Amino acid sequence: MKFRVFLLIITFLSISPSFATEKPLIRLGVLAFGTVNWEIAALKNETLLETAGFELQIQKLANPQAGKIALQSGSVDMIVADWVWVSRLRAQGEDFTFYPYSNTSGALIVPIDSDIKTLNDLQDKKLGIAGGELDKNWLLLQAAAQQQSLDIKEKVTEVYAAPPLLSQQLLTGRIDAVMTYWHFAARLESQGYRTLLTGKDLLKKLEINEIVPRLGYVFRESWANKHKQTVNQFLKTTAIAKDKLCESDVVWQKIIPLTKADNMAIQNKLRKRYCEGRVKQWDKAEKLAAEKIYQLLRKLSKNKLTGNAKKLQQGTFWIL
């Protein structure tokens, strides 16, 4: 009798769909209109998810802060955020870790016929700043200006607002320049506006030549260590999806509605900037450069952005 029961259990396990097809689940929090949605769509359209060794559950987020709250509360396993925030929380005893998602950074945009050609020309101008007074590009812009003995914070009129509003103010001439996020910069470029400096240009002015990602997938190290194969496969698979969007016009065409771009010039500029942000290298040199950036941000923000930790915290970066 016991032998028959044993055989029945083995037979049930071998044919039960819940046991045969169950995959590890990743709960991913994404901004409702974030570019991560492009990659998720590509994963689905190109059947990459069907052959992947994991299930993906998407939770839409209203804003970046909502994502951080969701991750900290455990309602999602992963979000896209920045490594400075990760380091700050690690210094407080948390175990979050970061893996690069994109190298794309914001840009300083001016009208095509503007007389602003250099940082010195920003004096007495109205400068729109997306992201608030602790925006990383704004802080790095201050650092670059200091190298030219220019206290730009004292020389410009700062205008803080949401990126769409700042774009509108630039269009109507209410501000002279705007430091904004990359996709808003791309839209302005497609309308004939000029990029004075990108985030990468600012780093070069600060003698940091390595390309250091600003944004990445963030998750708990303890969770990732328990699901290392699943996490690493997810990171590799999303990179494949990004490559498909950049290398195949057919794949790109399928996600155009997600860009919310109503003409081809904007679509093409968004794709160009998005694809320029692909992470081609992430090694020791880039991580050492991140430490240099951390020290600059710590000094310029007076610890408001980084917290009191004197160094970038060990374990901030996930090793694939």
Q: Give residue 127's pLDDT band: very low, low, confident or very high (50, 70, 90).
A: very high
CB 279 within 8 A of CB 103: yes
pLDDT in tens, 11-68: 444 444 444 458 899 999 999 888 999 999 999 988 898 888 899 999 999 999 999 9
> Structural domain tally of the chain?
2
Specify whether 289 is located in the same domain as 157.
no
Specify whether 46 is located in the same domain as 188.
no
Specify whether 128 is located in the same domain as 85.
no
- Whether 319 is in a domain gets the answer no
Range 124-153 average pLDDT: 94
Read off the tokens for 30: 């994404």
Query: Whole domain around residue 96: which residue ranges?
Result: 24-103+213-261+279-301
- Whether 269 is in a domain gets the answer no
Specify whether 112 is located in the same domain as 201.
yes
Specify whether 95 is located in the same domain as 149.
no
CATH code (residue 29): 3.40.190.10
Could you tell me the CA-to-CA distances from 157 to 23, 90, 126, 174, 282 in Å, in that order?
54, 35, 5, 12, 37
Distance, CA of 219 to CA of 98 (rounded, Å): 7
Specify whether 218 is located in the same domain as 74.
yes
- Whether 315 is in a domain gets the answer no
H or E, element range at 2: helix 2-15
Q: Point out the domain boundary residue: 159, 175, 205.
A: 205
Specify whether 98 is located in the same domain as 113.
no
- Whether 116 is in a domain gets the answer yes
- Whether 266 is in a domain gets the answer no
Model confidence pTM above 0.85: yes
Question: What's the confidence (pLDDT) of residue 21?
Answer: 56
- Whether 12 is in a domain gets the answer no
Q: Point out the domain boundary residue: 164, 184, 205.
A: 205
How would you classify residue 127: left for phi > 0, otherwise alpha for psi between -120 and 50, otherwise beta? beta
CB 212 within 8 A of CB 289: yes
Specify whether 223 is located in the same domain as 296.
yes
Specify whether 63 is located in the same domain as 111.
no
Specify whether 76 is located in the same domain as 132.
no
- Whether 273 is in a domain gets the answer no
Specify whether 111 is located in the same domain as 200.
yes
pLDDT in tens, 195-235: 999 999 999 999 999 999 999 999 999 999 999 999 999 99
**290 phi, psi to nearest 5 deg:** -60, -35
Specify whether 131 is located in the same domain as 253.
no
Range 78-96 average pLDDT: 97
